Structure 1
């Protein structure tokens, strides 16, 4: 018999979508009628640059025989040193990062899991804004056996400068107070910045407000900055916790990042934790055995980052330019077929409003639209996969493979949505009537 822990795990909506894509994947030349995957959280837009670079890196030779032995499970010193130099430079860190405060583990998800194991007991909870990255519930829950207390954000705006799904400290305070009244022991706050799936970048002021909130309540903060180098708007300003000169509570502040999104290397499985708390780092070393990264991969990644000219002059600017262009094409394409969406400056996703297609406006009907899209040959994930409290929102990945990016006009999957789904739910005569559907962007030509 399997354990209760395993048998309680059920297939997620995103798992269903990915499984269908894997069985019938879209290929521009060989399988043009396959399912287009715009739902899986991957950046594949610069795979060619990374693959070309990796092909130039020689594998370990006889001189590097030590990589075949047991090693420090928190990461090889050469990689730690290189990562500290890299992160110091590109995060604009106030001080040079210390390799003794850095831990290398097999992905950002495992980094979150390891931190929550170290910082919380089974039954404890962590604050997170909804919607949030769907796997975070598993990262916090499956091994650490902790819970997530939702800080619910909504699409309605308030105030002169309000925007949809806006985080405020007041919302954090309310969620914490409600959890406390229920007897829930909240241990910390997890901030994804830039955000998945919203694409928001938290201002320095808001970031500091959140850190001060955590200090007031003696909460740990995990700053997940996995998209820190995927800020594609040249005028957008991103503030890393690593750059803050006056961290309110360094001993309770912990940074995570990985190669998966920013370097198009989700299969490589290498992430990092930086913590100013020596006891936390020591505790992480005690469980790193279960989360370690193969030494050969660490040597390869170290060599890649050491080519500073390639990183600074080729990869980072090209990847950002491609993300910027892909976002622009996707945004314009969605507007053309009448799908409102949030305009944001970072990440790999667009948070899109399909509420006019979801009738009645329920999560059950949202799921029907999800399956309708799959049948049409399009996989995008519904908001319920990200614990959004409002039905009708979908996350669309725009960092798609180049064979899709290079298609003329609107991407094939946008044409499929327009032809096979939108026209089914909203007749064309109604679609061009802004008075009837005032919240949708219309194209009359």
Structure 2
């Protein structure tokens, strides 16, 4: 039943089967006949996100028959996508549209490659202002927030009920609850992946900021404390580092109690869980939910394409950011609806009725945190800070040693001494 409601709504709106290959075939035919074709390079490898994007394109193209066609083209994963876009700069064959993270946008702005979107997005006042502000650079708007997810708390209702404990609301309650249940069960119940996303939860909610006096700092006292919390959780037996596969892929290999993970994984958690799965806003401070890292991409328009393609691309981003399209996209994929009016649409209302927990995702989006929107952040996130977190969690260095090493690498990168 959980998938039936949104599936029927999706089919009713788009009037085609929820099948990726069929959508691709329809798009191929649509674009063969179109006088203008705007390519959209994306990083959706498959599954519901790719199918939903293809179906959005099909409907848009039907509405613009005889005028133009948007053709989504997968370029691999997100890092593959950014690599191919960089190569396209040199080759001079950029697409009209692409997905991009905020740090990618910063890089493309440096290359003077993007078309500002001020005055292009007609429903800007309906969009989540936190997401919109993240794509403003020097006062100009360069992206449309599109597929956005946010960190939330996943928990095992059965386990909490077994031990007579409530869902934790604060960081201190979170740690104490995990310790109590872990001691009773004889194994760690807070599961996490040793990466920058998990680190961000502890870091941001312990008062951390990556920017100090205009410089990137990854070894601040708050950063060390956050990483020490993750490391001590493993050593003290209340936290378990998942180093292979996603957390939901490890269900059944121990007692799962909690995880701080992306809302984009909600449907996968539901499918994998053999227990009563709950989600909640992140444990925070001062009676408020914790800050959750926002992930996912924005849609951008490259300015080095002809005016007809740019016009078509502008119409497409207005279409996909409309309340109806966002309601259907959110219900189909689990991404946060970036249009605030999407929650009033029947498709999302039906989905929320069938999946009331998903209201948590919408609420958590009001308590959002972002990583630095600088061109170098992708390398820092994965190759420097990400590696430091793994080294510390796996016991190859102390948290301070790992982060001090990472800070030196960050400074060398920003100064151009390494690439």
The TM-score with structure 2 as length reference comes to 0.26
Which structure features the higher share of helix residues? 2
State the TM-score, normalizing by the size of structure 1.
0.25
